[in-house]
Amino acid sequence: MPFDLDAYLGRIGYDGPRQPTFAVLAALHELHPRAIAFDSLDPWLGRTVALDIAALQAKLVRDGRGGYCYEHNTLLWAALEALGFEVRGLSARVLYSTPPGGGRHPRNHMLMKVETPSGPCIADVGFGGLTLTAPLRLAADVVQATPHERVRLTRATADTVNNLPPTWVLEAEAGDTWRAMYEFGLEEHIAPDYEVANYYMATHPRSPFVVRLVAARPLPGRRLALADTAMSIHPTGGPSQKRTLTSADELRRVLTEDFALTLPEDPRVQIKLNALFSP
């Protein structure tokens, strides 16, 4: 199925130039996660998560749904290629939620390397509550501004035992400290690599997306985040505001209004929402 670039650009509210430049990439990167929320609804409901372009256009573009990293970044990848960008798929180990001594995650997060006339960049519109809202130039130890946090890429130590080159680490500024988000290399990943990881994340009983309802959406000056019944608003540069939702109706309103999600017409939606508030 051919990619419908017009429909995608309409979905995210972009009506600017269509050349493969850094400025165009930056505009899409800011608008995409604002318009299309991150969420775990389908894995949480036990629904299939498909990564083919026809399915992604139907779900995220036409039906007003959201999704997680493989869906978001595969959709953006298709749009970028339609605009003439050269894109390479990459994969990362998440560090953000790993406590010291807590072991290492598999490479189960998707991101992309995008070539621009200004040089190679990292693009990633699917990292949940800390999704990048701007592409990053692939340069080490340079603080880069985004519409939200300041971020930087650093180089990890080379693995001399296994003769592996140093990896890159994405860090975000949090107050007066820098916090590692994830670690990645520049080895190319292709669609079958993501299909395997996607199946695990969408179906394994210990996957965080199967066991918990999560949603995230960056808006100008703030970020919204949901974890089951815990709703958070994180103003840029200010203290977070948190509250606990008290009913399935309130949670449904938050999903449809605050996160701008169209919920699937599936009886499991109401059953699962009600279950979050059952004794």
Tell me which residues are annotated as active site: 69, 109, 124
DSSP letter string, the chain: ----HHHHHHHHT--S--SSSHHHHHHHHHHHHHHS-EE-HHHHHT-----SHHHHIIIIIIS---B-HHHHHHHHHHHHHHTT-EEEEEEEEE-TTPPTTS----EEEEEEEEEETTEEEEE-S--GGG--SS-EES-BT--EE-SSSEEEEEEPPPBTTTTB---EEEEEEETTEEEEEEEE----B-HHHHHHHHHHHHH-TT-HHHHS-EEEEEETTEEEEEETTEEEEEETTS--EEEE--SHHHHHHIIIIIS-PPPPS-HHHHHHHHHTT--
**d(Cα 73, Cα 270) in Å, to the nearest integer?**
28
Residue 60 near residue 89, CB atoms below 8 Å: no
Distance CA 171, CA 182 (A): 8
